[in-house]
């Protein structure tokens, strides 16, 4: 590679090195933040699917276990998703959700321990897994809301917060937190990019200065002591004084 090619390749090499340093210079906190944001996004999406999307597909509903009557399988705070089920398909051993009184919103989720047909009607006897006695009154067909489809530990508290009286406050805090986090990530990325650009500009200026200082390589510099000789070993035109001295010597 000639000297000119080496000087021309210098800025490109330093530019690549500056970009690599800018990429490697990003702090561990930045990458940790990206990983956390991706995990939060995935978790939020999964919760939304489990709590809203899937129940809506089957016409079911998501509820929160509030008491200890179904421990240890369904402790308080568990999210239970109930799907509509024909009473003929409900069997002993199924976990069923029913209205305490027909037409009212209060419900109970207990296990079916008995199913009876009488006078063309179906009734159920239910009992909590953690209870020592069956529920007091038989459950009529009109009271049945459905059976347990799946459950998710602890997410019931999230469901309660999002659907309770403080729903507006919780949603506002969550949205504000997400926007704040997104703004912080954007500012951090912009700051890293500008730092990389400054480093690249600094290295390019340094390379230009170094190239200008190393440009003269041949041809005697002013004030230098470089002389040339002919092919036969005699001094060239650059050394007239040496010829004069040779002629003057005895």
| Spatial distance between the Cα atoms of 92 and 172, rounded to a whole number of angstroms | 44
Residue 165 to residues 4, 52, 81: CA-CA distances in angstroms?
A: 75, 19, 21
Write down the pLDDT at residue 144: 96
Write down the pLDDT at residue 209: 55
What is the DSSP annotation of 203-219? Answer: HHHHHHHHHHHT---SS
Can you list the residues of the chain whose pLDDT is less than 70? 1-12, 14-30, 161-172, 174-175, 196, 199-250
Largest CA distance in the chain: 151
What is the DSSP annotation of 6-43? Answer: HHHHHHHHHHHHHHHHHHHTS-HHHHHHHHHHHHHHHH
**Domain ranges, ordered by start, for the chain:** 60-153
Q: Let me know: does 63 contact 83? Beta carbons within 8 Å.
A: no
The 3-state DSSP class for residue 180 equals: helix
What lies within 8 Å, CB to CB, of 101 at 6+ separation is 143
- 39-48 pLDDT, tens digit each: 887 887 888 8
| Spatial distance between the Cα atoms of 145 and 193, rounded to a whole number of angstroms | 57
Q: Which fold is adopted by the domain 60-153? A: Umud Fragment, subunit A (2.10.109)
Write down the pLDDT at residue 33: 74
Residue in 62, 60, 57, 42 with CA at minimum distance from that of residue 163: 62
pTM: 0.56
What lies within 8 Å, CB to CB, of 205 at 6+ separation is none
| Spatial distance between the Cα atoms of 97 and 84, rounded to a whole number of angstroms | 10
What is the DSSP annotation of 61-125? Answer: EEEE--SSTTTTTS-TT-EEEEE---GGG--TT-EEEEESSTTSS-EEEEEEEEEEEETTEEEEE
Q: Decide the pairing of beta strands 79-83 and 139-140.
A: unpaired
- 124-163 pLDDT, tens digit each: 999 999 999 999 999 999 999 999 999 999 888 777 766 6
CA atoms within 13 A of residue 182's CA, in its CB half-sphere:
8
| C-alpha R_g of the chain | 42
The 3-state DSSP class for residue 148 equals: strand
């Amino acid at each position: 590679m000639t000297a000119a090619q080496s000087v021309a390749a210098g800025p490109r090499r330093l530019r690549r090195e500056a970009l690599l340093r800018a990429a490697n210079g990003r702090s561990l906190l930045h990458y940790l933040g990206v990983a956390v944001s991706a995990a939060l996004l995935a978790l939020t999406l999964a919760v939304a699917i489990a709590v809203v999307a899937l129940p809506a597909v089957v016409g079911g509903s998501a509820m929160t276990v509030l008491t200890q009557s179904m421990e240890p399988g369904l402790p308080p705070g568990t999210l239970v998703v109930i799907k509509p089920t024909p009473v003929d398909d409900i069997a002993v051993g199924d976990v069923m959700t029913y209205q305490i009184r027909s037409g009212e919103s209060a419900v109970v989720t207990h296990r079916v321990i008995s199913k009876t047909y009488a006078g063309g009607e179906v009734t159920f006897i239910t009992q909590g897994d953690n209870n020592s006695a069956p529920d007091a009154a038989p459950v009529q067909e009109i009271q049945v809301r459905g059976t347990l489809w799946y459950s998710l530990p602890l997410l019931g508290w999230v469901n309660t917060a999002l659907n309770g009286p403080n729903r507006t406050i919780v949603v506002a805090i969550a949205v504000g937190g997400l926007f704040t986090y997104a703004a912080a990530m954007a500012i951090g990325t912009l700051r890293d990019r500008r730092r990389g650009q400054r480093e690249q500009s600094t290295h390019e200026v340094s390379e230009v200065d170094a190239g200008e200082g190393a440009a003269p390589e041949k041809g005697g510099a002013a004030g230098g002591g470089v002389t040339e000789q002919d092919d036969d070993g005699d001094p060239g035109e650059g050394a007239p004084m040496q010829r004069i001295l040779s002629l003057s010597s005895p």
